[in-house]
A = this chain, B = another copy of it.
Protein backbone atom coordinates (compact mmCIF):
# COMPACT_ATOMS: atom_id res chain seq x y z
CA UNK A 1 0.00 0.00 0.00
CA UNK A 2 1.02 3.56 0.50
CA UNK A 3 2.96 2.32 3.48
CA UNK A 4 5.07 0.09 1.34
CA UNK A 5 5.98 2.92 -0.97
CA UNK A 6 6.48 5.67 1.53
CA UNK A 7 10.25 5.51 1.33
CA UNK A 8 10.20 5.62 -2.44
CA UNK A 9 7.98 8.68 -2.35
CA UNK A 10 10.20 10.26 0.26
CA UNK A 11 13.22 9.61 -1.92
CA UNK A 12 11.59 11.53 -4.75
CA UNK A 13 10.56 14.33 -2.41
CA UNK A 14 14.14 14.72 -1.34
CA UNK A 15 15.34 14.73 -4.93
CA UNK A 16 12.83 17.39 -5.83
CA UNK A 17 13.67 19.48 -2.79
CA UNK A 18 17.36 19.33 -3.61
CA UNK A 19 16.83 20.34 -7.21
CA UNK A 20 14.70 23.29 -6.22
CA UNK A 21 17.11 24.36 -3.56
CA UNK A 22 19.88 24.27 -6.11
CA UNK A 23 17.93 26.66 -8.31
CA UNK A 24 17.47 29.06 -5.44
CA UNK A 25 21.13 28.94 -4.56
CA UNK A 26 21.95 29.51 -8.20
CA UNK A 27 19.95 32.71 -8.28
CA UNK A 28 21.73 33.92 -5.22
CA UNK A 29 25.28 32.86 -6.00
CA UNK A 30 25.44 32.48 -9.75
CA UNK A 31 26.74 28.96 -9.29
CA UNK A 32 24.69 25.84 -9.93
CA UNK A 33 24.37 23.03 -7.45
CA UNK A 34 26.91 20.92 -9.28
CA UNK A 35 29.31 23.85 -9.46
CA UNK A 36 28.97 24.65 -5.77
CA UNK A 37 29.52 21.07 -4.78
CA UNK A 38 32.52 20.60 -7.04
CA UNK A 39 34.05 23.85 -5.88
CA UNK A 40 33.64 22.81 -2.27
CA UNK A 41 35.54 19.62 -3.01
CA UNK A 42 38.31 21.71 -4.52
CA UNK A 43 38.60 23.66 -1.29
CA UNK A 44 38.66 20.49 0.76
CA UNK A 45 41.00 18.58 -1.52
CA UNK A 46 43.25 21.09 -3.26
CA UNK A 47 45.07 19.75 -6.28
CA UNK A 48 42.68 16.96 -7.19
CA UNK A 49 42.42 15.93 -10.81
CA UNK A 50 39.31 15.73 -12.97
CA UNK A 51 39.10 12.01 -12.51
CA UNK A 52 39.52 12.20 -8.75
CA UNK A 53 36.90 14.89 -8.58
CA UNK A 54 34.56 12.68 -10.52
CA UNK A 55 35.03 9.90 -8.00
CA UNK A 56 34.59 12.32 -5.11
CA UNK A 57 31.30 13.53 -6.48
CA UNK A 58 30.12 10.20 -7.86
CA UNK A 59 29.76 11.50 -11.37
CA UNK A 60 31.25 10.57 -14.68
CA UNK A 61 34.57 12.23 -15.46
CA UNK A 62 33.11 13.64 -18.64
CA UNK A 63 30.34 15.29 -16.66
CA UNK A 64 32.59 16.83 -14.08
CA UNK A 65 34.91 17.99 -16.84
CA UNK A 66 32.18 20.27 -18.13
CA UNK A 67 31.36 21.56 -14.67
CA UNK A 68 35.01 22.36 -14.04
CA UNK A 69 35.32 24.24 -17.30
CA UNK A 70 32.54 26.51 -16.09
CA UNK A 71 34.28 27.02 -12.77
CA UNK A 72 37.37 28.04 -14.69
CA UNK A 73 35.40 30.42 -16.91
CA UNK A 74 33.93 32.05 -13.85
CA UNK A 75 37.31 32.47 -12.27
CA UNK A 76 36.45 30.51 -9.14
CA UNK A 77 38.87 27.70 -9.95
CA UNK A 78 42.28 27.34 -11.55
CA UNK A 79 44.11 24.45 -13.14
CA UNK A 80 47.75 23.59 -13.63
CA UNK A 81 49.27 20.73 -15.55
CA UNK A 82 50.59 17.99 -13.35
CA UNK A 83 54.32 18.01 -14.08
CA UNK A 84 54.52 14.29 -13.44
CA UNK A 85 51.69 13.44 -15.79
CA UNK A 86 50.98 15.78 -18.63
CA UNK A 87 47.51 14.36 -19.14
CA UNK A 88 46.28 15.57 -15.78
CA UNK A 89 45.20 18.94 -14.52
CA UNK A 90 45.65 19.83 -10.88
CA UNK A 91 42.62 21.82 -9.77
CA UNK A 92 42.34 24.51 -7.11
CA UNK A 93 39.74 26.96 -5.93
CA UNK A 94 40.73 30.60 -6.28
CA UNK A 95 40.34 33.23 -3.59
CA UNK A 96 37.24 34.43 -5.37
CA UNK A 97 35.97 30.89 -5.32
CA UNK A 98 36.40 30.51 -1.60
CA UNK A 99 34.68 33.83 -1.02
CA UNK A 100 31.85 32.77 -3.26
CA UNK A 101 31.32 29.61 -1.25
CA UNK A 102 31.22 31.51 1.96
CA UNK A 103 28.36 33.52 0.62
CA UNK A 104 26.39 30.37 -0.12
CA UNK A 105 25.51 28.97 3.29
CA UNK A 106 22.17 27.63 2.13
CA UNK A 107 23.27 25.63 -0.87
CA UNK A 108 21.56 22.31 -1.31
CA UNK A 109 24.57 20.20 -0.43
CA UNK A 110 25.22 22.09 2.79
CA UNK A 111 21.60 22.04 3.89
CA UNK A 112 21.50 18.34 3.26
CA UNK A 113 24.75 17.80 5.12
CA UNK A 114 23.49 19.89 8.01
CA UNK A 115 20.21 18.03 8.15
CA UNK A 116 22.06 14.74 8.22
CA UNK A 117 24.40 16.05 10.88
CA UNK A 118 21.49 16.85 13.17
CA UNK A 119 20.34 13.25 13.15
CA UNK A 120 21.36 11.20 16.16
CA UNK A 121 24.64 9.45 15.47
CA UNK A 122 23.03 6.08 15.39
CA UNK A 123 20.27 7.08 12.98
CA UNK A 124 22.87 8.71 10.84
CA UNK A 125 24.99 5.62 10.45
CA UNK A 126 21.92 3.49 9.89
CA UNK A 127 20.83 5.83 7.16
CA UNK A 128 24.22 5.65 5.55
CA UNK A 129 24.19 1.88 5.62
CA UNK A 130 20.71 1.70 4.16
CA UNK A 131 21.50 4.10 1.35
CA UNK A 132 24.65 2.17 0.51
CA UNK A 133 22.67 -1.05 0.49
CA UNK A 134 20.13 0.46 -1.87
CA UNK A 135 22.87 1.75 -4.13
CA UNK A 136 24.40 -1.69 -4.16
CA UNK A 137 21.07 -3.27 -5.05
CA UNK A 138 20.37 -0.84 -7.87
CA UNK A 139 23.89 -1.12 -9.12
CA UNK A 140 24.31 -4.81 -8.79
CA UNK A 141 21.47 -6.55 -10.55
CA UNK A 142 21.64 -6.88 -14.28
CA UNK A 143 25.35 -7.17 -14.08
CA UNK A 144 26.70 -10.26 -12.39
CA UNK A 145 25.76 -9.90 -8.77
CA UNK A 146 28.84 -11.17 -7.08
CA UNK A 147 28.39 -12.10 -3.52
CA UNK A 148 31.97 -11.20 -3.05
CA UNK A 149 32.11 -7.49 -2.54
CA UNK A 150 33.35 -5.77 -5.62
CA UNK A 151 36.84 -4.37 -5.53
CA UNK A 152 36.03 -1.32 -3.52
CA UNK A 153 38.74 1.11 -4.63
CA UNK A 154 37.50 3.53 -2.06
CA UNK A 155 37.63 7.20 -2.79
Q: Which residues does A use to contact B, with CB under 8 Å?
A: 3-18, 20-21, 24, 57-59, 105-106, 108-109, 111-119, 123-139, 141-143, 155
Contact = CB atoms under 8 A, between A and B. Distances in A.
Given A58-B13, A115-B133, A138 B21 contact: yes
Given A111-B141, A114-B137, 16 more contacts: A3-B125, A4-B124, A6-B124, A6-B128, A7-B119, A7-B131, A8-B109, A8-B116, A9-B58, A10-B130, A14-B138, A17-B135, A17-B136, A21-B142, A116-B134, A118-B137
A141 to B, nearest CB: 6
A59 to B, nearest CB: 7
B24 A138 contact: no
A13 B132 contact: yes
A12 B57 contact: yes
Given A16-B135, A143-B24, A116 B7 contact: yes
Nearest to A143: B24
Contacts of A113: 5, 8
A107 B123 CA distance: 29
Contact of A115 (B13, B126, B137): B137
A128 B14 contact: no
Contacts of A106: 141-143
A131 B4 contact: no
Contacts of A108: 138
